[in-house]
Amino acid sequence: MRSTYMENGPHTRDEIIKSVSKGIIAETFTNGQVQIGAGDFTFYIKNGWLIEDGKITAPIKDINIIGNGPEALRNVTMVADDSKLDFGGWTCGKDGQSVPVSQGIPTTLVSKLVVGGENV
């Protein structure tokens, strides 16, 4: 996948954080895999934040998220207005080949995903 981008939404990052009783903010991803036919994915969160009762409470790192692409998109409930394109040296590879990729996504609330083996 060469470039992934999501348009801005109507909310602020703070509004999204305040709406979450228990969840995470994933700041940086690495080492993902996708089963294209089924849409299933797993991504490794390199760093992020734990949210409890609408507040950021602790840093997190080294956590997997697991889900299904179409299902995760159906579970998007809020999108913030803070999108920016990131050309940060990302690559996507298959069978020993790789291509440079970019991504841009605003803060997005997905209401249900498997995080580190637990549904949150």
Q: For residue 62, what are the domain limits?
A: 3-115
What's this model's pTM, rounded to 2 decimal places?
0.83
pLDDT tens for each residue of 18-49 = 999 999 999 888 788 889 899 999 988 888 99
DSSP run (H or E) holding 81: none
Residue 44: inside a domain: yes
Residue 71: inside a domain: yes
Distance CA 54, CA 69 (A): 26
Q: What is the pLDDT of residue 1?
A: 56
Residue 78: inside a domain: yes
Residue type, position 8, single letter: N
Put residue 2 in one of left, alpha, beta given phi > 0 → left and psi -120 to 50 → alpha: alpha
pLDDT tens for each residue of 57-80 = 999 988 999 999 999 999 999 999
Q: Three-state SS for 4?
A: strand
